[in-house]
Structure 1
Amino acid sequence: MPIFSLARLLLASFALLLLSACSNAPDFKATDVSSTSMGGDFRLSDTNGQIKQLKDFNGKVTVIFFGYTHCPDVCPTTLGELSLVAKKMGASFSGVQVLFVTADPERDSASILKDYVRLFNPSFMALRGQGADYEAFKSAYKFIASKHQEPGSSYYSVDHSAGCYVLDKSGKVRLYVPLGFGVDNWVHDLNLLLQE
C-alpha cells in the first residue's frame, strides 16, 4: 500500500475515533465545567452544628447553591424549581443532595436556615460558615457576595452568585446551571449524572 494511502487511512481512522469519543460524552443541557479547577473540599456547618465536608456527600450527585434567606427573588425561585425537580424525579431524587450555602451568615442562623430549606424540600440541606473556612469555600467555588446597606436603614441586601454547581458522585464539579434553567433540563442532566 502506498505511504500516501496508508496516511489517509490512518487519518480517517483517527477522525472516526475522535467522533466516537465525542458521541460518548454526556449530552448535558447545562454548561459542562468539568475541565476547570474549581471546587474541592470544604468545611461548613449544617443546621445542627455538625461540620460537613465534601466527602460526606460521596456517592450522591450534589447541587450547591449560594444564597440567603432574605433574598426576594433568585433564591426562592431556584429552590422552588429544585423542589419541582425532586417531585418529578420521585424516588431517584434520593441520589441527589441539594446544599444551600448561605451568603449571609450574619443573619442566617442555623434555625432560620433549617426552617427556610424545609419549606422547599425536607431533603435539602443548609450550610453556613465563617472565617477562613468560609472564605476558602467561596474562593474554591467562585461564589461572590456583596452586602448593600440601604441608606438610613438597618436593612441590607446581598448581591450574590445566582447559578448552581452540580458535582458528580465522586465530588467533581461537572456543571454550571444558570437561573431559570427549567425543571425538564434539570431532570435530564441529573439523570445523566446518576447513571454514571
Structure 2
Amino acid sequence: MSTPPVGEITAMASNTSNSTPTYYSPTAILTDSQKAPTTFSLAVPTLTPLNNGSAIEEGTKLDLPLWLAEMLAVSKPAGPASPTSLASLDMPFALGPRVLNALKADPKSVDVRAQAPWFYGLGERMLELFEDEEVGEVLLETFRQRALEIADKSQNTRAAMSQAGDSADFMSGLDETERQRTSFLHGKNLHNSLRHLDKDKIQWHYRMKRQQLTLL
C-alpha cells in the first residue's frame, strides 16, 4: 500500500543556493541518487527517455533521482504564460505520514534502510526544499534514540547479531549513516561511543535546524 502525498509544493531556487557544495562527496552523490516523486507542470517532449519512451504530458508523475527532480523544479520555462517551474516535488514515501507515525511510536522498530539507504541524508535534503517542521523534529528524535541503541550494540555486536528477533533486525535496518557510525565505534568502550554519537547528534541537529531557518 502507498501513502498519499504529504502535499505537493514547488521547490524554489533560492533555497538551493544555501546548500554547501559537495560536488566530489560520494555520500552526497549517493544521497542525491535516491528518488523523489515528481509531477511535471507541462509537456516536455525532449525528456521521454525518463518515462521509458512514453510522452511526458502535463501532470505526468515520475519517481526521479533527487538531483534531477530538484533541477527540474528550479528550472523556469520560457514564456510569460508558462508555469513557475518545469516540475514540482512531493515528499518521498520514506518521509511520508506512515513512516513518520511509526518513527514517533518507536524509532528503533523501523527498518530505516528499507525506506531509503541514505535515510537521514534524504531527510536533510528534502528540508532544503520543503517547509515541514514535523519531519525535522521526528528525524532528530529518531537519530537521538537510535544513536543510543547503536552505541550499546556496537559493544556487543557478536552477541547482538547472534540473537533472533528485534536485536538483529535493528542492526540490519541501519541506514548508511548509522552503519558508518557503527564501524567507527566498533571496539571503543561504551563511554567513548556515547561521546562520539552525542557529538554526531549535535552536529546533525545543527544542520537540520539550519535548513529549517533558511525557510523562514
**TM-score category of the 2 structures, normalised to the smaller one:** under 0.3
**Greater Rg over alpha carbons, structure:** 1
Give 1 or 2: higher helix fraction: 2
Given the two structures, how large is their TM-score scaled by the length of structure 1? 0.27
Kindly indicate whether structure 1 or structure 2 has the higher relative contact order, using CA contacts under 8 Å at least 6 residues apart. Answer: 1
